[in-house]
Amino acid sequence: MTNVEVSNKAMELFNENKIDEWINTLAADDITFEDMAAGYKASGKEESKAYVQSWKTTFPDMVGQCNNRIESGNTMVEECSWTGTNTGEITAPDGSKIPPTGKTVNIKNCFIYEFENGKIKSMTNYLDMMGMMGQLGLAG
């Protein structure tokens, strides 16, 4: 698969809540996944799977789409948009739990991908966390 095809498949599998398949077929064994807004970095398939799954636990109906993409060699930057309803607990960076709000969010983010041998080697997520928290009624 090309890098674009890998990215498209990752979005498709996330939207279908097929996180096991996402990790098992698209991720390098030593994948890293960093969320800049939350200050979290996952290393390896298990931690990365838990991070990706946490979004579907917090927003079970969340779906995304890629709006723009720039590719250079094994690096790709994507601008994405996401919609989902918060029906699961939110885990704060300190580990505390925030009860579900029942509110729907429309958020944007950018991913920076690094690919190796047709697999995702690393992903960095730059998310509009303040926008999301505001829509949830959790920030001014």
Exposure string over 10-37, b if 16+ CB within 10 A, otherwise e: bbebbeebebeebbeebbbeebbbbbee
Q: Using only the alpha carbons of the chain, give its radius of gyration.
A: 14
Mean pLDDT across 44-54? 95
Q: Rounding to the nearest 10 degrees, give the CA dihedral for residues 38, 109, 82, 24.
A: -70
Question: Is residue 73 in a domain?
Answer: yes
Q: Is 18 domain-assigned?
A: yes
CATH number at residue 69: 3.10.450.50
pTM for this structure?
Answer: 0.93
Domain count for the chain, please give it. 1
Q: Provide the domain limits for residue 37.
A: 3-135
57 inside domain: yes
d(CA 86, CA 101): 6
Residue 69 has pLDDT above 90, yes or no: yes
Q: Is residue 140 part of a domain?
A: no
Domain membership of residue 55 (yes or no) is yes
